[in-house]
Every structure is written in structure tokens, then in C-alpha cells.
């Protein structure tokens, strides 16, 4: 039986006017919609699928303000049994992972799932840092999770680059970071979303958790500026015969070096 925790993050569907907050510890922006992070959504689908095969429970957890409540409710509507929210909004991945790990320790779980990375920060660090903090074995870019051949194990398929995949047995408890595109994500009807709003969400303040003292001491880093990339060069289409194109390319290479 698996008791799975799925780490989820509320991310903006589309943003405008991004800017650095007054404390320089976060980004502020205008967002039309708030949605569940894509790879976290795939991790959630894997957790619900495993629950149907092996039994157990699924708990969704998120570190965020009240806007993250919608993401947790989406998890409950998709089949999660419980929801936990840490009432803090952080850009620092280490502090986020430490708080999540503290909250996970207070639950009865033997599997932690997370997406490979968040759409906004794209740091790809939280899952790895949670595994390090908890002392659990870890697997990244997971595309398939199956019951293991031995009790207390799972059979995991993951991407290892260059189009190759690797299948391995991993001992529980473990942390797995799920790749996008694994299990088709399900649609949640509006009526079901309204029903789960009545379900309780356990909420922690940062100081309720051991790592929260780090947050109280101030941000670990400051964001100085956010800006679009500058244009350094323009693309050029070279036309002509094969010989002419090769000659022009050679000339450009000589000019560049």
C-alpha cells in the first residue's frame, strides 16, 4: 500500500508586467489565471493511478499563498484524499524544499512525487533537495512507474538523455520527479471543483516548521532586475547554389574568428 505525497505548485497561465517586489525576494506580476504546474499535474495523475493499483492515500502539498488553494482543490477533485498548504511564497528553491520536507515528515508517507521543474522558476531543484533533506533515494525525469517485483519497491523508467531510457528498481520510501507527457491528464468538471471546496486543507505557517526560522531571518538572496533578453544578432537566410552558399558560409566563419 502506498501513501503518496504529490508536490504541486500554483503557476500563472500567462503573465504581464513582471517586476521585482519591494523586498527583492520575489517577482510580482499580473496573471489572468492560476493553474497547476504542468509536470506536477502529470505527477498527480501518476499518484492517482498508483493508488488505484496498490491502494493507499494521496496527499497534495503546496507552498504558496491563498492562490495555491485552487491547485490543491484541483488535486482533491482528481482523486487526492488530503491537502496541505504552507502559507509562504518563495523564489528560493532551497528554502521551499526545506519547508516541504518538514511538512512531509509530519505525514505518514512512503512515496513523494514532484514534477521535473516549475514553469516559472525552471530551477529543477526542489524534488532533488527534498530527497536530500529526507534521505530518500531519488530518480529524475521519470516517465513510467509500476509496482516492483519485490515488496517495498517500485519499477521506474526514466530518461537518461540522447533518446535513451533506463528501467530500475527503487526501494521505498523514495522521491520521484515525473516528466511531462507520462499519463494523460484528466479534466475536472466545474461541479466537482465546487464540491471539493468544502474539504479541509491543513495549513502551516513557516514558523510552524523547523526550517521556517530561515525565512524569518530574511531572504537568502535578492533579485536585482527582471528584463527581456536583448537582441544581439539577426538571422540571415543565405540563398544561391550549393557552391555559393558554402562560399558565403566559409567567409562568415572567417570573419567571426
Domains of the chain, by residue range, sit at 2-216
- As a whole number, mean pLDDT of residues 225-242 equals 81
CA distance 113 to 43: 6
pLDDT of residue 189: 86
Contact yes or no for 8/37 (Cβ under 8 A): yes
Q: Is the pLDDT of residue 153 over 90?
A: yes
pTM of the model: 0.81
pLDDT of residue 16: 73
Q: Which residue has the higher pLDDT, 209 or 21?
A: 209
Query: pLDDT tens-digit profile of 160-213?
Result: 888 899 999 999 999 999 999 887 888 888 888 888 988 999 999 999 998 887
pLDDT of residue 96: 92
Task: Indicate the pLDDT class of residue 220, thresholds 50, 70 and 90.
Answer: low
Residues sharing a CB contact under 8 Å with residue 150, sequence separation 6 or more, in sequence order: 169
Looking only at the bridges linking them, the beta strands covering 164-171 and 153-161 are antiparallel
Q: Is the pLDDT of residue 40 over 80?
A: yes
Length reported for the chain: 257
In angstroms, the Cα distances linking 171 to 107, 146, 175 are: 19, 12, 10
Task: Indicate the pLDDT class of residue 101, thresholds 50, 70 and 90.
Answer: very high
Percent of the chain exceeding pLDDT 90 equals 58
Taking the domain 2-216, which CATH number applies? Answer: 3.40.50.620
Q: What is the mean pLDDT of the chain?
A: 89
Amino acid at each position: 500500500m502506498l501513501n503518496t505525497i504529490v508536490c504541486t505548485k500554483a503557476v500563472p497561465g500567462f503573465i504581464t508586467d513582471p517586476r521585482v517586489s519591494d523586498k527583492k525576494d520575489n517577482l510580482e506580476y499580473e496573471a489572468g489565471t492560476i493553474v497547476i504546474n504542468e509536470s506536477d499535474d502529470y505527477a498527480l495523475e501518476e499518484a492517482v493511478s498508483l493508488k488505484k493499483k496498490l491502494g493507499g492515500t494521496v496527499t497534495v502539498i503546496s507552498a504558496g499563498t491563498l492562490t495555491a488553494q485552487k491547485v490543491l482543490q484541483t488535486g482533491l477533485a482528481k482523486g487526492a484524499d488530503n491537502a496541505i498548504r504552507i502559507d509562504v511564497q518563495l523564489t528560493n528553491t532551497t528554502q521551499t524544499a526545506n519547508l516541504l520536507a518538514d511538512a512531509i515528515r509530519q505525514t505518514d508517507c512512503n512515496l513523494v512525487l514532484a514534477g521535473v521543474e516549475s514553469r516559472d522558476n525552471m530551477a529543477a531543484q526542489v524534488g532533488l533537495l527534498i530527497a536530500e533533506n529526507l534521505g530518500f533515494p531519488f530518480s529524475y525525469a521519470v516517465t513510467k512507474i509500476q509496482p516492483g517485483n519485490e515488496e517495498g519497491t517500485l519499477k521506474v523508467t526514466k530518461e537518461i538523455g540522447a533518446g535513451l531510457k533506463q528501467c530500475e528498481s527503487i526501494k521505498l520510501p523514495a522521491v520521484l520527479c515525473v516528466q511531462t507527457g507520462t499519463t494523460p491528464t484528466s479534466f475536472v468538471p466545474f461541479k466537482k471543483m465546487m464540491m471539493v471546496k468544502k474539504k479541509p486543507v491543513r495549513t502551516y505557517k513557516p514558523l510552524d516548521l523547523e526550517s521556517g526560522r530561515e525565512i524569518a531571518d530574511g531572504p537568502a538572496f535578492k533579485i536585482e532586475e527582471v528584463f527581456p533578453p536583448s537582441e544581439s544578432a539577426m538571422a540571415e537566410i543565405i540563398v544561391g547554389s550549393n557552391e555559393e552558399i558554402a562560399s558565403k558560409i566559409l567567409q562568415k566563419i572567417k570573419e567571426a574568428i
